[in-house]
Amino acid sequence: MKVIIVGGVAGGATTAARLRRLNEKAEIILIERGNFISFANCGLPYYIGNVIKVKNDLLVQTPENFNARFNIDVRVKQEVVKINRKNKNVIIKNLETNEEYEENYDKLVLSPGASPINPFKDLNNNKIRTLRNIEDSVEIKEYIEKNNVKNVTIIGGGYIGVELAENLRNFKNLKVTIAEKASHLIAPLDEDMAKLVYKILTNNDITVILNNGVKEIINKDDKLNIVLEDKKIDTDFVVLCIGVKAEDELARQSGINVYPRGGIEVNERMQTNDENIYALGDVVKIKNCVTGEMSSIPLAGPANKQARVVANNICNIDTNYDGSIGSSILKIFNYNLGITGINEMTCKRNNIEYKTIILSPYSHATYYPGASMLTIKAIYEDKSGMILGAQVFGKQSVDKITDILAVAIKMKMTAYNLEELDLCYAPPFSSAKSPVNLLGNSIVNQIEGLVDTITWQEVESLKDNKDIFVLDVRTNEEFESGNYENAIHIPLDDLRKRLNELDKSKTYLVYCRTGLRSYIACRILTQNGFKVQNITGGYHFYSYLY
């Protein structure tokens, strides 16, 4: 059996290694147009920021090591330029000599990835760059160092844009600006949670411009003038992080099915419409496990899993890939952000009846030093309590909690299941009632009618309603340090003896710092005949929103 793999990195290199472990006799050829077959592309921003100081630390495998260990014929600086499906061969171009030659195959694997979107290619300006591979990161870093760059603008506020902003800010104390066309950073986030990211970035002296797409970039002396939709900014250097486009043209030209908006179409076995051709990684569209939609999820984790599926099926081990929920995590200075499952916008687009909840537990027992507050937003199915999505923000335990909730979403668990999870506890690591257990408790309380919740955005929309009042049940010291405008203040411990100060014909929207004390207040008020709602997220979350 002869297998040709187009592209390395997570998808292609992992497929090749798995194939060899399953079949010692197969002839395996890996074609990579770059210099490196397997490198840590997620580490590129950290190399630019000098967190990773040695370029070679980003290399997972060199062609020589890969060949020695797995007996793979690795050909770098070469590119497959044509697929002849009828004859089962490919035309390969040597990028150093420009010579072309032909190789036949029994099975062909397409893993060319996705390329950064660059609408300004025609400018041919070395001050405007994209970041895809090690060569890009080296060139960006060297240019900044050699040309005394002081001011960098990042176009696009997604994962790479935010990571790069932090690393450039820390690298030689550069002045960094992010310009984003959308209304908030990190597209998979809900807009309210994105406010936390915005605040951390601006608190670290990064300028963030939202709702402003780039119309034009103009050379202006030794600067670049960026023309946004409603303003202009000058900068020394631009990195484009607008997004990526699946490199599916080779497949399209050969008659392999490609979706109208890009991305190769594959079945559960990662096969294309040609049974001898497989595709995986950033170039394909895969099923979203929550909605069933076909979507692009350009992440290393799914690519590695798909590689195993491809290799298994080539070796006649029937294996299916059942999709992804897009779990990811991001470091933002001293904070971390975890995302898994779907957001509110996706729920609305798919007509999913959902509710949300926001709570702010501590990362571990507060009596043990170093505990810090988390913010967890969960999206769940309204009636069943099945967890659909989660967004977790904080300094500690973010990866752990996001991973637990990712398992819950993948296994279609409900809030009732979260309540029952037996999770590790010791004071340095968690609380006896884990944040995940607390999340389950809070959702169940809503489902069973013990409390009704309301968001701060909804509170703001009701501020002119004279029959609705906001009630703050924090301590006197907390109230004096900052509060919601015109809020009535009655500390929780005084509430029972001051019920006579409240009017049962009115509705009270209750908040504390995180939502726990306000829940207790809601239970007191409800059982005494008052109409109440608990403001989810508490004043801690309000301080990020406004």
Residues 6+ apart with CB under 8 A from 106: 1, 2, 3, 88, 276
In single-letter form, the type of residue at position 455 comes to T
> What CA–CA distances, in Å, run from 333 to 82, 199, 222, 299, 421?
45, 11, 31, 22, 31
**Are the beta carbons of 542 and 511 closer than 8 angstroms?**
yes
In single-letter form, the type of residue at position 123 comes to L
Q: How far is CA 225 from the centre of its chain?
A: 30
User: In 200-215, which positions are buried (b, 16+ CB within 10 angstroms) versus exposed (e)?
Assistant: bbeebebebbeebebe
- Take residue 37 and report the two structure tokens written for it: 């077959």
Q: How far is CA 74 from the centre of its chain?
A: 32
Among the listed residues 307, 325, 299, the one whose alpha carbon sits nearest the alpha carbon of residue 266:
307
Name residue, tokens 């472990």.
21
- 3-class SS of residue 108: strand
- The residues pairing with 129 across neighbouring beta strands, listed in sequence order, are 239
Among the listed residues 175, 179, 122, the one whose alpha carbon sits nearest the alpha carbon of residue 155:
179
Residues identified as active-site: 42
- 3-class SS of residue 381: strand
- 3-class SS of residue 145: helix
CA–CA separation, 144 and 491 (whole Å): 55
CA–CA separation, 14 and 261 (whole Å): 27
Among the listed residues 436, 426, 423, the one whose alpha carbon sits nearest the alpha carbon of residue 371:
426
